[in-house]
Structure 1
Amino acid sequence: MRYVTYESPEGRGRRVGYLDGDAVVDAGFDGDMVAFIEAGAPVGTTRGVANAVLRAPLRPRTLRDFLAFEGHLLNVFPALGKAIPEEWYRLPAYYKGLPDTVIGPEDEIPWPAYTQRLDHELELAAVIGRPGKDITEDNALDHVFGYTIWNDLSARDVQAGELPVGMGPGKAKDWDGSNVLGPCIVTADEVDPHDIELEVRVNGERWGGANTRDMHHTFESMIVYASQALMLRPGEVLGSGTATGGSGVELGRWLAPADTVEMEASGIGVLRNVVGHRPA
């Protein structure tokens, strides 16, 4: 099942639905996506919705972003004169993002005034569906409701200044609309997280991509690590980190105003957005 959050001309606010082909069907649930997931995805009386507009599929409880693709680091670290830390191979470390200001498919990507080098990051994200604490690797994926695409935007010039401090990322990733999710959440029974093709295109040109089979840290290991002494709850989101070739910094290329960014994941769909204007 491909679940979505949508709005329609009917004016009933944001509603939970699912996709039947390209058509949106209301799921007959009064509540947001996180409540829907927490309730066990109880689809009620359904109805087709004309002229529905997809929004971010959920406002996550939390956003945790990992670094799972060694290829991405190999593309970036040498240019910085650094080697990949040995600790990275042992620990699926993460940072937390902004869950309250996520945007969704076709929303304009806002350009913060303090950066000249805006960059995209192609990621796969897992949405927690069942609570758990001290989860074991054997049953980690049983706690996943589904998967979506995550465009984790970065202000690369700001990031270069923050990294030496050893904190963050801070303002390099911290502005309204810096996290894009969508276009839907595909339930875990429909995709294999170990074999999903990921690709990013800018203005129709392929800039990069990878398969999740190349992840050094799996979603199982991420869930195990994050759940140590901590209850993970429905609606929390864990990101894979940038797929190999999934960012402009790996190519020395940057986004420009009016660029169309398309991120595609096999079995999930395409997350499409246009970059907004750069403030003077």
Structure 2
Amino acid sequence: MLLAALGGGPAQAQTIDALRPVRDGFLAPQDSPLRRTVVSGLSDAAPTVGVDTPISASSPPRQTGGPLPGRPAASGAADTGYDSLNRTRKKPRYYPAQPRPKPPPGPGTRPSGELTGQLRPTLPPSASANKPPIPDFDTIPVMYQGASDDFLGPQADVPFVTEADGIDFEGEFGVIVDDVPMAVSPEQAAQRIRLLVQINDWSLRAVGAREVRTGFGFLQAKPSTSFAPMAVTPDEVGDAWRDGRLDMALHVHRNGERIGAASGREMAFSFPQLIAHAARTRRLTAGTIIGSGTVSNADRAAGSSCLAEVRAIEMIERGEARTPFLRFGDEVTMQACFADGRGGPFGRIAQRVVRAAGTDRPE
């Protein structure tokens, strides 16, 4: 299950794409995304990644005699789901005329299908949108459960049917957890966090407005989610990981124009609190992804991480929304950076909005 919170509104071959079902229900150990934790530099000679520095598409060389750089050795705690995923996966076996799985879509990605959904926290509805307030918004996380059967690589073109759907990006951070028992406390949930990720949770605003009114949550409004190239363990970001939040600025650009660089430190609810909320009436299996929701700060100088927030602020300040949603051909880039400006370990998302094949028609 992929769980993440509702947004208001390395090498390419190493991604965090959760658990893809294969023959016999197993992944080969070297393909397990939960092994693929990486440090910000794979060697002493590794270059520092800046906001606008492209990420190399080559994989780090394999080594013998020990774990690969950034891949933790098995801890010995084989009774946990995290270690069992790392240590007991079997290689799939194929027979003559038996079809092999199709190659993954996008650079170095494997879609997730073993997990079933995602939950994400959200900003309150803008007063300018004339929407009623969400009950208990300040005390209970607002989350949705979305599909996780298809993910996009960090440089994959992103297909959409029509611009009229209100195409928008949502810059987020996320965590991947170990097995989480039902009804855990936030303190217990904190011990289940294994990896940190950077996310673009694409959204269709016009479709979402309709789906919300049904009372059943999002489906068509939440297309396939994109991930930055790297997933890392919390210790790899040092002091930027504190209080269950990621204090890094998420630099977001549209066609080279700055949209924002908000920090994840102002999450209304910490990741341990979100995990505990999601697990209140259900257990979460190893590999579940919890998203932060769209990164947003009180200081408007930090900018925004989605166009919906940009437009809401325009409606408040100017009486109308002037910034259009995304159009075909637009490019979106995202990269998390440390407080001193250094590029973070996740790498860079750089994608282009395109019309989905077979949907050519007048707008």
Q: Please give the range of the TM-score, normalised by the shorter of the 2 chains.
A: 0.7 to 0.9
**Cα deviations across residues 147-194 of structure 1 (Å, max 9, x unaligned)?**
111111111111222222322123212x4xx21122211112223134
Aligned counterparts, 1:188-267, within 5 A: 188-191=234-237, 192=241, 193-244=245-296, 245-252=304-311, 253-266=324-337, 267=344
**Cα deviations across residues 131-151 of structure 1 (Å, max 9, x unaligned)?**
433222123222111111111
Aligned to 2:233: 187
Cα pair 1:55 1:103 within 8 Å, conserved: no
Aligned to 1:140: 189
**Cα deviations across residues 168-221 of structure 1 (Å, max 9, x unaligned)?**
123212x4xx21122211112223134122221112211124211111111011
Cα pair 1:54 1:183 within 8 Å, conserved: no
TM-aligned CA distance change 1:167 to 1:256, over 3 Å = same
Code of the aligned partner of 1:133: M
Aligned to 1:24: 59
Q: Tell me, yes or no, if structure 1 residue 55 matches structure 2 residue 108.
A: yes
Code of the aligned partner of 2:234: A
Out of 60, 64, 86, the position equivalent to 2:118 is 64
CA distance in 2, matches of 1:203, 1:157: 22
For residue 286 of structure 2, give the secondary structure of its aligned residue in structure 1. Answer: coil
Aligned counterparts, 1:139-178, within 5 A: 139-173=188-222, 175=223, 178=224
For residue 161 of structure 1, give the secondary structure of its aligned residue in structure 2. Answer: helix
Aligned to 2:5: none
Q: Tell me, yes or no, if structure 1 residue 272 matches structure 2 residue 356.
A: no
Root mean square deviation, CA, Å: 3.1
Cα pair 1:123 1:239 within 8 Å, conserved: yes
Aligned to 1:39: 84
**Cα deviations across residues 28-64 of structure 1 (Å, max 9, x unaligned)?**
79xxxxxx9553656xxxxxxxxxx843476272442
Comparing 101-110 with 160-169, greater Cα deviation is found at: 160-169
TM-aligned CA distance change 1:86 to 1:145, over 3 Å = same
CA distance in 1, matches of 2:258, 2:170: 14
TM-aligned CA distance change 1:131 to 1:151, over 3 Å = same
CA distance in 1, matches of 2:110, 2:262: 23
For residue 334 of structure 2, give the secondary structure of its aligned residue in structure 1. Answer: strand
**Alpha-carbon shift at residue 15 of structure 1 (Å):** 4.0
Bigger strand fraction: 1
CA distance in 2, matches of 1:190, 1:63: 27
TM-aligned CA distance change 1:169 to 1:40, over 3 Å = closer
For residue 234 of structure 1, give the secondary structure of its aligned residue in structure 2. Answer: coil
Aligned to 2:14: 4
**4+ residue stretches of structure 1 with deviation over 6 A?**
none
Q: Tell me, yes or no, if structure 1 residue 105 matches structure 2 residue 154.
A: yes
Cα pair 2:171 2:295 within 8 Å, conserved: yes
**Alpha-carbon shift at residue 78 of structure 1 (Å):** 1.7
TM-aligned CA distance change 1:101 to 1:163, over 3 Å = same
TM-aligned CA distance change 1:59 to 1:41, over 3 Å = same
Unaligned runs of 5+ in 2: 1-9, 17-27, 47-55, 72-80, 88-105, 297-303, 312-323, 338-343
For residue 160 of structure 2, give the secondary structure of its aligned residue in structure 1. Answer: coil
Cα pair 2:307 2:325 within 8 Å, conserved: yes
For residue 206 of structure 1, give the secondary structure of its aligned residue in structure 2. Answer: strand
CA distance in 1, matches of 2:126, 2:354: 29
Over the matched positions of the two proteins, sequence identity in percent amounts to: 24
For residue 138 of structure 2, give the secondary structure of its aligned residue in structure 1. Answer: helix
For residue 185 of structure 1, give the secondary structure of its aligned residue in structure 2. Answer: coil
CA distance in 1, matches of 2:165, 2:221: 11
CA distance in 2, matches of 1:120, 1:183: 17
CA distance in 1, matches of 2:83, 2:285: 8
Cα pair 1:38 1:235 within 8 Å, conserved: no
